[in-house]
Amino acid sequence: MSKAILSSFVEGAPPGELADVITDIKALTISTPNAVNELGPAFQKYNEEQFVTVKLPGSSQQVIISSHSSLGDGRYYDVESSSSFAFDHTTQKASAVQSHVVEGSQADLVKSTLKSLSTYVKEHFPNAAYGVYPIEDDSKIAILIVSNKYSPNNFWNGRWRSLYIFDPSSSALEGSVKVDVHYYEDGNVRLLTNKPVTATVSSATGAGIVREIAAAERKYQEELNRGFTNLSEGAFKGLRRQLPVTRQKIEWDKVASYRLGQDIGGGSSRR
Amino acid sequence: MADADPFDSALDLLRRLNPKHTSDHLNALITLAPDLAEDLLSSVDQPLTVKRCKQSGRDYLLCDYNRDGDSYRSPWSNQFDPPLDEGGAGGVGAGGSEGAGEGAIPGERVRKMEIKANEAFDIYRELYYEGGVSSVYFWNLDDGFAGVVLLKKSAPQGGSSQGVWDSIHVFEASERGRTTTYRLTSTVILSLSSSNNTLGEMDLSGNMTRQIEQELPVETDESHIANIGRLVEDMELKMRNLLQEVYFGKAKDVVGDLRTIGSLSEGQRDRETHRGIIGSMASR
């Protein structure tokens, strides 16, 4: 029971706040100090689903943890640096780096996609990690981007996650973009989005795939910006007016003499 | 390092986990730490529930302050639904005054003010919300009285976007001769969402809390209603602006910090200028 609850807390940790959530969990389970140690599976799920990034020892490059880059037994790999490593899901630290070269029928497509993706990511994401991996017995490739910006001193953190699966046999590109923003100064405000993306890539090259991704993400970000405007001008405005129709604050000394729908010219929907 | 207080940790956790599901997280925390239940339930604001008053046919809002067991008191009829057992009623006993959450029925004078406050905030609701439901509950304190002003409005169903606004204004009025000190704690819970094929799913939900304390002159009990009215009206105006800034300004800016629509290499100079502006705003 409590393990399921604690796991749900871990899975719900906002971007960059897993350590804070774990601190809270420890304080709440002071009588059962082992509780956190039993949350390994929840940490693994969080790290893989959130595309947690880690710096390999001796490198400044961030690499992504995900089910698509998993080798099993707690080891993951990165194509760009041609390395595999052990990853501790609780401490989020990498160790035991080894050489790992991607081979197989998709190796060339993976490398060319990685090259185009690198250029695209550097142009549009100030702080992002990315990866491309052959998946499903070398039949498809997975393309991942994760961009984080943490500003805990200003009480906000954010994450952008893209995941695409490209199927060379059908030239179909399918995936999703998820944005997660948390603002928590004297409150708790969260933006959570999920945008499915489907496209057909006309030229099944790395450059062609990334061109399609770039177009889809640009279109989505513009749509999301319109989404903010629409919610602000639509639902938000419709919930509460900034001022009454009269554009004047209420005269509270005379409020008893107000008659709804008559003197004040407001709505008349009194039930 | 000293061990953190479990109650503070629970509140910190609720400040981090998805605010759209605060009630679920609250229930989970109570399962985990049953001894925190009472403190958590009285300090964590949840979206308000609407109930229809059997006597007046009007809707009213439920919260911990008009609850006695499983029964809730209607501000319009002053009756509990379901009715309380004879002799089981809460209310202001001989010595007890702070009976909120235990079905406190205000004393005669405070109930009179409560009726006036409900009438006044019903007008306020119509002027600002043009719909929705309002309820005001008062209870006696040793040196005055306290109360909660509740407002709820949901966007009409059926559109591609949805929205719910809950206002919870809890105040204490300490009466000292011709002046009264009002301590107001206000929370707005605002959930917005939108979904369609081009946008996908977008959910923008949360809550914000602000406090204010003011000493104001009081001539009659009518002035209490006017004072509380002005305090709540000013606070809601302030909070509406704040919500607008955070929901549609800050959240959007962070998305722009995660990914830029324009090219980073071309926009380098623009961005530095922008950062300068943000920096000077933050340091004001």
The pLDDT tens digits for B260-276 are: 999 888 877 666 777 77
Confidence of residue B9 (pLDDT cuts 50, 70, 90): very high
Distance of CA B260 to the CA centre of its chain: 36
Question: Token pair of A269, please?
Answer: 């929907």
| Cα separation, A10 vs A32, whole angstroms | 17
pTM of this prediction? 0.90
Size of interface A-B (CB pairs under 8 A): 283
**3-class secondary structure per residue, B95-120:** CCCCCCCCCCCCCHHHHHHHHHHHHH
Distance of CA B265 to the CA centre of its chain: 45
Instruction: Give the nearest partner residue to A225 out of B29, B252, B282, using CB atoms.
Output: B252
Confidence of residue B101 (pLDDT cuts 50, 70, 90): very low
pLDDT of res. A266 = 42
Cβ–Cβ of A2/B209 closer than 8 Å? no
* Contact present, B126 and A260 (Cβ < 8 Å): yes
pLDDT of res. B269 = 66
Q: Kindly state the average pLDDT of the residues A236-261.
A: 87
Question: Token pair of B144, please?
Answer: 């005055």
Question: Token pair of A196, please?
Answer: 């499915």
Q: Kindly state the average pLDDT of the residues B47-54.
A: 96
Question: Token pair of A271, please?
Answer: 């039930």
Q: Kindly state the average pLDDT of the residues B123-139.
A: 97
Instruction: For strands A140-151 and B71-73, give the pairing.
Output: unpaired
Q: How far are the Cα atoms of A11, B13, B114 from residue B18, in angstroms, in the given order? A: 11, 10, 35
Question: B129 at the A interface (CB within 8 A)?
Answer: yes
Beta bridge partners of B144: B141, B174
Instruction: Give the nearest partner residue to A231 out of B33, B192, B259, using CB atoms.
Output: B192
Question: A37 at the B interface (CB within 8 A)?
Answer: no
Residue B222's nearest CA partner among A131, A257, A224, A201 is A257
- pLDDT single digits (tens) B193-250: 999 999 999 999 999 999 999 999 999 999 999 999 999 999 999 999 999 999 999 9
The gap between the terminal CA atoms of chain B, to the nearest Å, is 34
The owner of tokens 């969080």 is A46
In this predicted structure, the answer to whether residue B95 has a pLDDT above a threshold of 80 is no
B236 vs chain A: nearest CA distance in angstroms?
Answer: 9
Question: A242 at the B interface (CB within 8 A)?
Answer: yes
pLDDT of res. B28 = 96
pLDDT of res. B3 = 64
pLDDT of res. A124 = 97
| Cα separation, B122 vs A202, whole angstroms | 61
| Cα separation, A203 vs A212, whole angstroms | 10
Confidence of residue A238 (pLDDT cuts 50, 70, 90): very high
Higher pLDDT, A19 or B278: A19
Name B164's Cβ contacts closer than 8 Å, sequence gap at least 6.
A239, B47, B152, B153, B154, B155, B189, B190, B191
Cβ–Cβ of A8/B28 closer than 8 Å? yes
* Contact present, B212 and B194 (Cβ < 8 Å): no
In this predicted structure, the answer to whether residue B87 has a pLDDT above a threshold of 60 is no
Indicate the helix (H) or strand (E) that contains A121: helix A107-124
* A142 phi and psi angles, rounded to 5 deg: -105, 135
Residue of A nearest to B123 (CA): A260
Share of chain A above pLDDT 90, in %: 86
* Contact present, A206 and A115 (Cβ < 8 Å): yes
- pLDDT single digits (tens) A128-142: 999 999 999 999 999
pLDDT of res. B130 = 95
Cβ–Cβ of A147/B229 closer than 8 Å? no
